[in-house]
Amino acid sequence: MILVILIVGAVATLGAAVGLVSRALRPASKAALEAQLEPIDVAAFRNLIDPAEDEYLRRHLSAAQFRMTQRARLRARAAYVQVASRNAAVLIRMGQVALATSNASTANDVRIREAALRLVNEALLLRRNALFALLRIYADMAWPNRSAAAAAILDRYERLSDSAMLLGRLRNPGVALRVTAG
């Protein structure tokens, strides 16, 4: 009886895994991918990583208040970095779809392929850097001090946003792709 339950459980788990993998490998439509993007308020993110803001808080709050406030700011930084990383994953898929659907028959297709390749490369780099930034942010939560771990992520995200907008304009000139808010 236990063996039957284990076999049924293993088959169900295997079926669920196959379903998830096949869904992940299925090409998504451009609209479905764009719907997964979560715009980032770049101005608010920039404020969170501003060393002058950290210094202001350090001067005007008690040590205990500063640590508590800084941990909250670090959690917010981590949330922004996680959204940037998720958006980069979506943009990787968008770039891959653009690469798969374009051919090199026209000059515009060549520009689309170049823009898509640039988008994929920048998004992959951002994903890697976001992982390291998150590790640094979580370490800083244990010892709240000044940290610029997320500053590089914001700069790279802005470049990634520019690349995504270029690819979007090349593929569909009438529709703007938004990955930043405001």
Domain residue spans of the chain: 1-27, 37-181
Please write the tens of the pLDDT for every residue from 53-102.
888 988 999 988 988 898 899 899 999 999 999 999 988 888 888 888 77
| Residue found by looking up tokens 């439509």 in the block | 29
Q: Which two tokens stand for residue 11?
A: 């088959």
| Residue found by looking up tokens 């992959």 in the block | 124
Q: Can you tell me the distance from the alpha carbon of 28 to that of 96, in angstroms, rounded to the nearest whole number?
A: 10
What's the whole-model pTM score? Answer: 0.69
The confidence score (pLDDT) of residue 147 equals 55
- Pairwise pLDDT comparison (51 vs 1), residue with the higher score: 51
The confidence score (pLDDT) of residue 148 equals 54
Please write the tens of the pLDDT for every residue from 138-150.
888 877 655 555 6
CA max distance for the chain = 68
Residue 126 CB contacts under 8 Å (≥ 6 apart), including other chains: 84, 85, 88, 153, 156, 157, 160
Phi-psi label, residue 158: left if phi above 0, alpha if psi -120 to 50, beta otherwise: alpha
The confidence score (pLDDT) of residue 144 equals 63
The confidence score (pLDDT) of residue 79 equals 93
Q: What is the mean pLDDT of the chain?
A: 78
The confidence score (pLDDT) of residue 6 equals 66
Q: Which two tokens stand for residue 165?
A: 């907008």
The confidence score (pLDDT) of residue 145 equals 58
The confidence score (pLDDT) of residue 76 equals 92
Please write the tens of the pLDDT for every residue from 8-54.
667 767 766 666 555 555 556 666 777 778 888 888 888 888 888 88
What is the length of the chain? 182
The confidence score (pLDDT) of residue 115 equals 84
